[in-house]
A and B are shown apart, each in its own frame.
Chain A
Amino acid sequence: MGALLDVTESRRLLKNIKTQNKVLKEVAWEQAHIVRAPLVRLKGLLQLLQNESYELWSRESVIAKIHDAADEMDNVIKGIINKTEEIEIER
């Protein structure tokens, strides 16, 4: 009886670890791709500001795009926080 309970317990733990690993991998992937997408756009736009390069867009337009990119980053990060808080662990 005791041995049987131990196996059940370790299976439960293993399952939890697997779930957490999966979420961690997803978060890492999102960090690499989804978070960095608006971030690299932001960096590119900042280069335009720094070089005072307004041939492509006006200064105002560049700043508006920087705001949009920052908002997008904020939303992505909020999404990640929600996701990690939602990890369901079987007890």
Chain B
Amino acid sequence: MNDKSEKIQTIIVDDDLIIGQMQIFMLKKMGIENPLFFSEGQKALDYLDTEAKTFGNFFILLDLNMPGMNGWEFLEATKNKAYGEKLNVVIVTSSLFKDDLKKADNFPQVIGYFQKSLSVQEFKDIIALHEEVPNYNKK
């Protein structure tokens, strides 16, 4: 009954609490169930280290510039984890640097890249990416 092993867990990682709350609000409004929010990369990593087995896939909205473990370090840290293949990361950054976009190509977990602030259409695009995650139909 409570088998979540084929479910997709959505996670938001952003040091900006207001942005985080707005993203949770929008994702829920668009039908994403129970998105989790972490204000630090390390906390998200700790969560994945303990919960990775529980879920089939993870859909992660990741900010880049954060104090402590930033988005790049998070991607680097999860790249070679056993659960690395379960991660579907959408970078959501305030950066306008083309170099950041290029750098994202180095990480196979990254399935999307958006510049803040997100319009309603961009949220829809993000939902479309969520629907492409394997096991979506079993969510």
Contacts and interface: CB of A to CB of B under 8 A. Distances in A.
Contact of A41 (B16, B64, B120): B16
Contacts of A32: 94-97
B18 A40 contact: no
Nearest to B25: A56
Nearest to B15: A37
Contacts, number: 45
| Chain B, interface residues (CB within 8 Å), range | 10 to 19
A55 B21 CA distance: 12
B68 to A, nearest CB: 15
Interface string A33-60: 1101101110111011000000110000
B32 to A, nearest CB: 15
Nearest to B22: A44
| Chain A, interface residues (CB within 8 Å), range | 10 to 19
B118 interface: yes
B127 interface: no
A23 to B, nearest CB: 17
Given A33-B65, A56-B21, A56-B25, A44 B118 contact: yes
A37 B65 contact: yes
A32 B96 CA distance: 6
Instruction: Report the 5 A-B pairs with minimum CB-CB distance, sorted nearest first.
Output: A40-B116, A36-B94, A43-B117, A40-B117, A33-B65
Interface of A: 32-34, 36-37, 39-41, 43-45, 47-48, 55-56, 65, 69
